[in-house]
Amino acid sequence: MLAGVAPLGRCWHAMWMRNNSKYDPENSGFISTERFRDLLAAHGSELDPHKLEVLLALADGNADGKICYQDFVNLMSNKRSNSFRRAILQGSRQLRNSALREEVGLGLSRRLVRHVAYETLPREVDRKWYFDSYTYCPPPWLMLAITIAEVVVFMYYGFQLNRWVLQVSSPYFLKGPLPYHPQLRAQAWRYLSYIFMHAGIEHLGLNMAMQLLVGVPLEMVHGALRIGLVYVCGVLAGSLAVSVTDMTAPVVGSSGGVYALVSAHLANVVMNWSGMKCQFKLFRMAMALVCMSVEFGRAVWLRFYPPAFPPCPNPSFVAHLGGVAVGLTLGVVVLQNYEQRLQEQSLFWIFFSVYTLFILCGIFWNIFAYSLLDVKLPPPP
């Protein structure tokens, strides 16, 4: 049980067991909060100060007057059970005396972690927990890897087409294996791979800025699995939304996934406005909305701009709206409860079921609707 516990945690385990006959003569796995405070008073200097604060909050938050040994193990191994979270919520007033931002003497990397904590988490107890447990291992590789791949693909087509703006107007742009095209919708990978193609350097630049400035901090806090889930769901919802509502248009760009992350983050900030302590949060929200509006406006303009090779239209903007829909529903639930397992959240399963139903409807639509509606598709690229 102690395999994942730090060496200091093992020392405390040994100390707990040495005092077992004194504090827990019945060997029940619980000791009283009074005796637990005595243990902290005698040996608390050995602990990280934030862990000590959380342990005190745990002691203060247990209404039944007992501390569970398993909760202690969870803390020392950086895990939290539901009962442990409830106890911390009840005793969190113990954590408000010294804010994390007041600490001095931190190195550059630790200041960055503290900054990310205040940018993304609304509660001080979660910020301190994250600050203590984050180790940069693994690093936020997912958003960086996707961004690098997008830049490499854009550079490749830029040199090949000798065009860096409005690449989509080149007859060879849509001939590649990556962009989504309605005539090639049977090639299922295109519903995801289109994110690596961008219409021009302005398209790539805006998506990169939002992807890195919002996606990387979110990945540092919530992990690649959660952020990847929101991102991929936004990407898939974007291409399927286009195939349902803008049936003749191709799709390029990572806006579906980017808008899912950004809209989920902004909604989380608004919903926890009083608890979010990030600097200039109103200004930052306004800048994010301006960037989203500029990028979306560019996409709408391009969609209705006369195509260079009619009757093939320019790429659709509907993928942006699909990403926003995912971010405001599934994304908010994923980001709202820090470290709570997704399978424990009933609201997550509700939104995930609705999302799955939409995906199934989109698949059947792509199989049957085009022929039933006799849609006149543009020629294949």
Question: What spatial distance separates the first Cα and last Cα of the chain, rounded to whole Å?
Answer: 59
Residue 170 falls in the annotated catalytic set: no
Q: Do the beta carbons of residue 261 and residue 230 sit within 8 Å?
A: yes
CA trace torsion 254, 260, 261, 262 (10° rounding)? 100
What's at 215, amino acid-wise? G
162 vs 154: CA distance, rounded Å: 11
Catalytic pick from 239, 255, 263, 316? 255
CB atoms within 10 A of CB 240: 25
Out of 181, 203, 222, 320, pick the active-site residue: 320
Gap between the Cα atoms of 309 and 68, Å rounded: 70
Residue 221 CA neighbour count, 13 Å, CB half = 26
Look up 320 and say whether it is catalytic.
yes
Please classify residue 293 by burial: count the beta carbons closer than 10 Å to its beta carbon, then call 0-12 exposed, 13-18 middle and 19+ buried.
exposed
Residues shown for the chain? 381
CA distance linking residue 361 with residue 367, whole number of Å: 10
Question: Is the Cβ–Cβ distance between 378 and 183 less than 8 Å?
Answer: yes
Cβ pair 189, 201 in contact under 8 A: no
Catalytic residue ranges: 255, 320
